[in-house]
């Protein structure tokens, strides 16, 4: 812990562990384990809780814009919401009308986590859109008699399916992998704190996105399978990565 980066990372880790231990929704056994880990780290790095109380109780958050466009589709907003939950951030949407209408998607939270969330959003958006383009070209090449599916409609249903598939993938992961389940508990606690900060300190209330409707068409099901197969790699030994230990990509 000789440089500022390592010190900041340690304080951030201690903060997350302590918040998990104190969160009312944390089961008793997990809270006890988190508190034990917190104390072990204090001993290991020769720290007193009073030495880091200011850092723990006074979080520093950043807002990072990931996209700004004349139109943002509903599937993109829901993808941003999934990524925000996964990385421990809060997803924000913005709008301005002058000089011309523009809409934006941003992530708000710890600096490293917002960077990670942005990378995931860009990576998954590009991967899903490329898959939608391939599927449409393959479909259009068949030239079915009486086939009147429009390209934008097919791709929209495919991309909606991708989001549903990814959501399913993450839900299954939480049920089957203990490490991810524990990390998710930390993310829930962290997001609660960020939401309160947004509302109390910045006057930004939490909001719920419009429901993403699913039409179980061929395009949707192909997209659903694509989302479920989004590759999730366990990043090991990366000292520059944010707190979440998982990296997602589309192959």
Give, in degrees to the nearest 5, the angle at Cα 84 between 81 and 89. 140
What is the tens place of the pLDDT at every residue in 162-196?
A: 999 999 998 888 888 776 777 777 778 778 888 88
Residues near 151 by Cβ (< 8 Å), separated by ≥ 6? 136, 140
Q: Phi and psi at residue 93, in whole multiples of 5°? A: -120, 140
Q: Where are the beta strands (DSSP E) in the chain?
A: 62-69, 90-96, 102-109, 231-234, 246-249
How far apart CA 41 and CA 183 sit, in angstroms, is 18
* Cα–Cα distance measured from residue 197 to residue 192, given in angstroms and rounded to the nearest whole number: 9
C-alpha 104/C-alpha 146 separation (Å) is 39
pTM value > 0.75: no
Contacts of residue 95, Cβ cutoff 8 Å, sequence gap at least 6: 101, 102, 103, 104
Cβ count within 10 A of residue 160: 25
**The residue count for the chain:** 251
Residue pLDDT, tens place only, 16-40 = 787 777 777 777 788 788 888 888 8
For the chain, which residues score pLDDT lower than 70? 1-6, 50-60, 143-148, 179, 208-209, 232-251
């Amino acid at each position: 812990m000789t440089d500022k980066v390592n010190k900041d990372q340690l304080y951030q880790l201690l903060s997350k562990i302590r918040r998990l231990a104190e969160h009312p929704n944390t089961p008793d056994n997990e809270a006890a384990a988190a508190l034990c880990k917190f104390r072990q780290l204090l001993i290991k790095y020769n720290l007193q809780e009073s030495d880091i109380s200011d850092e723990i109780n006074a979080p520093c958050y950043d807002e990072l814009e990931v996209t700004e466009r004349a139109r943002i589709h509903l599937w993109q907003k829901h993808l941003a919401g999934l990524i925000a939950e996964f990385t421990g951030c809060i997803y924000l949407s913005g709008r301005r009308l002058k000089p011309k209408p523009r809409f934006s998607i941003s992530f708000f939270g710890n600096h490293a986590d917002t960077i990670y969330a942005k990378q995931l959003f860009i990576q998954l958006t590009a991967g899903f859109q490329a898959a939608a383009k391939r599927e449409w070209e393959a479909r259009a090449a068949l030239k079915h008699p009486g086939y009147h599916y429009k390209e934008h409609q097919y791709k929209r249903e495919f991309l909606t399916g991708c989001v549903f598939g990814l959501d399913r993938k993450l839900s299954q992961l939480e049920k089957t992998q203990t490490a991810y389940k524990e990390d998710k508990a930390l993310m829930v606690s962290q997001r609660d704190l960020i939401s309160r900060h947004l509302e109390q300190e910045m006057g930004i209330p939490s909001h719920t996105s419009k429901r993403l409707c699913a039409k179980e068409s061929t395009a949707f099901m192909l997209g659903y399978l694509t989302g479920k197969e989004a590759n999730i790699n366990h990043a090991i030994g990366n000292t520059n990565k944010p707190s979440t230990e998982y990296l997602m990509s589309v192959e």
